[in-house]
Structure 1
């Protein structure tokens, strides 16, 4: 009889299927024992711990609860110089130079709970608490007199609570990949960009801790075990729901705001070093559409709709994992931004631990 396969939790939360061929029993004279009768049908093997919700994965077994404390640090630095004026020669510019230096840091502590409701269905809830700070300096030259504008902002509060469901579509037998259907909902429990305090001119006095808009994200995850590795891919679409703000921001009245939807793609490979440790290498990319905002002029009553630019957020994924025991593991993930719109670095520490509840 074949031995049961062993699952190892990866740093990105992806679960690799490990196993080896069983040794054949022998008779006393060394001849192998021949099998008698029919081989029993192959049984479906469920892993012990669910994968990271961002990428999906093979689900938590029925009756098992996984609690995952998480701490995430994100850093973004922007250095930009612009020129408005006339170029007479390649070495002679007449106009205004503006230099901007911006540093953003975000600290998020969250607790995620995942429950195996059945062997095919898993339910998830994530509660984050967010602290953000931002420092910026804008220098304007070629004006009389030149000036510097320094600003420091911060904000901290409950972030956007998320709810998700994951359903395993197939059994993944005979070397076939696993297909996981995911559905995620993000609430507006955090302070959005139109909920924060502003002065009479509309300048923010603090930073938001949430997006301010409801969103729904269906996605499909594919996992292909190939011992000692597992290949993964995820494709999803984020529907950011339109909302009527109906608030004044400085001298402008904001009406309906339609955030741009996003296409999310990720893929990579998780590789087992030994039964306790593993590493992951991957890539993810978010293609975010334009945000459309409707403005009203209180004096004339005229309205205008403006659109922002599209965003391309791409990052390399690196991960490490160590399994302390059957119930507890330590996962460390690193994201390195490789597009202009992506944060420079995101460092994430997770310590999931599981328990049987029914």
Structure 2
């Protein structure tokens, strides 16, 4: 008698580092001449990713402590003056050297509410530090300005829901719909202290604006790998700030602020080395639109609208995952910025812990 066989290849919690959960990639071997049965195989999942994935089973709770560190270094040279020859410049050179370090400790909880619906909540705590050194040459003597800023506080709390749209029958990919809401519990740009000239005296720990992000995730098991892709759109909600930012002859008030919306894209592959270890290679990119800000001059009564530049934030994703036991895994991820607007490096350490509660 010929029996059906399954070749199971486990891709661990590493995918949760990059917006995709771990699953079991399966190859099915059918008897010769027998038509394959249409059937649903629910992948084994430990952690739902930030942007969605195959859902955690009903009644299962995943608690995921996380520590993240990111670093960004900016070196900029500017010139104001006259170019006499291609090798002779007369004017003022300004050199700016900025180093930014962000530390985030977060706890994420995910609950399998039904077999197809999962609810998620993330609570972050943020510490930021920035060192800014500006040197102006061609001045007697050279002028150097050093500024040190920092702040630590609660970040923006996030709520999310994930719904599995199909059953992944007969080798079809899994599609998951996601909806994420980001609050304003962190200290935004209009919550921090400023001097009379409007210069910030501390750093933000949140964006200061609510956002809603619908997205869709695709997972395609192909043993011993799992391919993943995610596409989302972030709606940042406009807000009427109505806050004074400078004091003096020209008192400036900030009126309506419309943050730029963003398109988010990520894709990659997770590869199983053995039943407990896997690695991931991927790429993600955020295309962020212009932010429009209205300034009102109380002295003259004039209103001016200023638009920021668009941003292109792209990063290469590398990661590793180890399955300690069926309920606990360790995930280590590294993001390397490859566009000018992306942080240089981001290192993340996560430990999803699963448990059954009903």
Shorter chain as normaliser: what TM range?
A: over 0.9
> 1:9, 1:306 → 2: CA distance?
47
What's the CA shift for 1:2? 4.1
> 2:282, 2:42 → 1: CA distance?
26
Q: Decide whether the 8 Å contact of 2:127 with 2:150 is kept in 1.
A: yes
Which residue does the alignment assign to 1:28? Answer: none
- 1:296 aligned to 2:296? yes
> 2:253, 2:38 → 1: CA distance?
67
What's the CA shift for 1:146? 2.4
- 1:42 aligned to 2:49? no
Which residue does the alignment assign to 1:351? Answer: 351
What's the CA shift for 1:173? 1.4
Which residue does the alignment assign to 1:151? Answer: 147
Question: Aligned to 1:11, what secondary structure does the other structure show?
Answer: helix
Residues 156-195 of structure 1 show CA distances to partners (whole Å, capped at 9, x for unaligned) of 0000000000000000111100001000000000000110
Question: Aligned to 2:172, what secondary structure does the other structure show?
Answer: coil
What's the CA shift for 1:6? 6.1
Structure 1 residue corresponding to 2:233, chosen from 225, 233, 237? 237
Q: Decide whether the 8 Å contact of 1:10 with 1:270 is kept in 2.
A: no
Query: CA 1:70–1:77 in structure 2 vs 1: closer, same or farther (change >3 Å)?
Result: same
Which residue does the alignment assign to 2:215? Answer: 219
Which residue does the alignment assign to 2:22? Answer: 15
- 1:87 aligned to 2:46? no
Q: Decide whether the 8 Å contact of 1:81 with 1:97 is kept in 2.
A: yes
> 1:23, 1:235 → 2: CA distance?
35
What's the CA shift for 1:265? 0.4
Gaps of 5+ in 2: none
> 1:304, 1:167 → 2: CA distance?
44
Structure 2 residue corresponding to 1:194, chosen from 179, 185, 190? 190
> 1:23, 1:301 → 2: CA distance?
78
Matches within 5 A, 1:61-100: 61-100=57-96
Q: Compute the TM-score of the two structures, normalised by the length of structure 1.
A: 0.93
Gaps of 5+ in 1: 25-31
Q: How many pairs does the alignment contain?
A: 347
What's the CA shift for 1:8? 3.4
Which residue does the alignment assign to 2:317? Answer: 317
Residues 9-68 of structure 1 show CA distances to partners (whole Å, capped at 9, x for unaligned) of 2313232323465799xxxxxxx9x99xx98752432423233113x2111000000000
> 2:229, 2:266 → 1: CA distance?
6
Q: Decide whether the 8 Å contact of 1:12 with 1:333 is kept in 2.
A: no
> 1:178, 1:135 → 2: CA distance?
45
Which residue does the alignment assign to 2:168? Answer: 172
> 1:39, 1:11 → 2: CA distance?
32
- 1:209 aligned to 2:205? yes
Larger Rg: 1
Q: Decide whether the 8 Å contact of 1:8 with 1:323 is kept in 2.
A: no
> 2:231, 2:319 → 1: CA distance?
20
Question: Aligned to 2:177, what secondary structure does the other structure show?
Answer: strand
Query: CA 1:88–1:40 in structure 2 vs 1: closer, same or farther (change >3 Å)?
Result: closer
Q: Compute the TM-score of the two structures, normalised by the length of structure 2.
A: 0.93
Matches within 5 A, 1:107-186: 107-186=103-182
Matches within 5 A, 1:260-271: 260-271=260-271
What's the CA shift for 1:311? 0.4
Question: Aligned to 1:324, what secondary structure does the other structure show?
Answer: strand
Q: Decide whether the 8 Å contact of 1:329 with 1:353 is kept in 2.
A: yes
* Regions of 4+ moved over 3 Å: 1-8, 18-24, 38-41
